[in-house]
Amino acid sequence: MGKQLSDGVNKSKWLKIGICILGVLMIAGAITYTVLTHQTSASSASSTPPAATGASNSTQSSAGVEGLNWVKNVNAKFADKDFLFVLLPGTPDMTQKTEQTLSSAIEKIVQDGVRVGVFTLEPKDPELNMTAERLSISNLPAVLLFTAQGRGAIITGDITETKLLQAYLTLLQACAPGNSGCCPK
């Protein structure tokens, strides 16, 4: 009977943890959607990624990165894509590992018919440090993810295929149901 009680307590504990995590993710998604939707309607109809319009959790990045050349190039070059990954490189070994992980995640995403673009900033590009500073990214490499509608996410630290796919799915789920043309097909 003691084992049954302990199994019930463990299941209950994990269920509560799972519900709390789900709740936090839903709240974060709702806040992100609200901020980005408000920001998108307030800005021009360009396809500037949210990071480029200053959508960051940092007060230091209030200037955003919209004036940087790489953002202008990305907007022009990837206008026909549904989803975009931007790699901010770090050390050569870590960048190579991240590129392989990114490639693996992209293979899975394109199987759904999603048109994906990848853009890598050059390690010697002075805008790399400016971007990291403005977006408060202290650990490179990092990956920025953007939907065609301007929603975005930043992954730093241990960049795994699972994290990339979770961020991708989270950004897609940020679309309000019934909002025609919101999510890639």
Tens-place pLDDT, residues 88-130: 999 999 999 999 999 999 999 999 888 999 989 999 988 898 8
pLDDT of residue 150: 76
Domains delineated in the chain: 47-173 (3.40.30.10)
pLDDT of residue 44: 30
Q: Choose among 46, 82, 90: nearest CA to 64.
A: 46
- Helix residue spans in the chain (DSSP H): 2-42, 69-77, 92-110, 126-134, 161-173
pLDDT of residue 115: 92
Q: What is the Cα–Cα distance from 29 to 130, expressed in whole angstroms?
A: 27
Q: What is the Cα–Cα distance from 185 to 82, expressed in whole angstroms?
A: 9
pTM: 0.61
Q: Choose among 55, 121, 57: nearest CA to 84.
A: 121
Mean pLDDT by 10 residues, the chain (185 residues): 60 73 66 52 36 33 63 80 91 92 93 90 89 89 87 89 92 61 48
Burial of 94 per CB tally in 10 Å (0-12, 13-18, 19+): middle
pLDDT of residue 20: 62
